[in-house]
Amino acid sequence: MATKGSRPITDIGTLKALAHPLRMQLYRGLCVARTATASQLAEQVDEAVSLVSYHLRKLAEHGLIEEAEPQSGDGRERWWQPSSEGVSIRDKDFRHAPERAAAHLAATRLFHEQRADMYRRYLDERPTWGPEWNAAAPDSESLLRLTPAELDALRGELEALARKYDEKGRAAEAAGDTEGRENVALHVYGFPFRA
């Protein structure tokens, strides 16, 4: 069963295991589905089941996912679930050695590229979502004057707010309120820059 909270990734082996393009897609798909088989995930990512199974085992070796209770009577199918509610990867855990810093940068770039691809796909599909979803989907930029401590506090508050809405939505869905409910990606970046 998935544990509460996100799992901090502090070792380079786990970071490299997750920072593989297909593995990150599978991990993200599993986080959305909550439980799935290699066959189900292979269909989502348009890859062979054997390849998906291999990458799922690699994620499991690093404790990122785990076997789940079977969701059907087919005992041949292996079900998977995330082993936590997500992962957190912090710069402070990778900055002290060049190889660790390079791995962190490569992973961060991959995650950003995949997030940007998700958003581009939404933009391409925007007409199919209808006016309610398009009006509700935020697209904004704020240019702030903050200290590192203030930015960190803002990050914590935004994460707590996102968790609150996720828990509220999942509870409503569990109670049968599924009308109009969709998966929603919320990407937040905060970084210093000089004009």
Q: What value does the mean pLDDT take over residues 18-41?
A: 95
Residue type, 172: A
**pLDDT mean across residues, the chain:** 93
Which pLDDT belongs to residue 6? 86
The CA distance from 104 to 12, in Å, is: 8
pTM: 0.86
Reply yes or no on whether the pLDDT at 110 is more than 50.
Answer: yes
- 4 pLDDT tier (thresholds 50, 70, 90): low
Q: How many CB atoms lie within 10 A of CB 116?
A: 11
Q: What is the pLDDT of residue 2?
A: 39
Task: Give the tokens for residue 56.
Answer: 């799922």
Residue 3 has pLDDT above 70, yes or no: no
1 band by pLDDT with thresholds 50, 70 and 90? very low
Is residue 103 helix, strand or coil?
helix
Q: Within the chain, what is the greatest distance between any pair of CA atoms?
A: 60
pLDDT of residue 76: 77
pLDDT at 36 over 90: yes
- CA dist 36 and 68 (Å) reads 8
Confidence tier at 77 by pLDDT (50, 70, 90): confident
Look at residue 171 and tell me whether its pLDDT is greater than 60: yes
Q: How many alpha carbons fall within 13 Å on the CB side of residue 163? A: 11
Average pLDDT (44-66) is 97
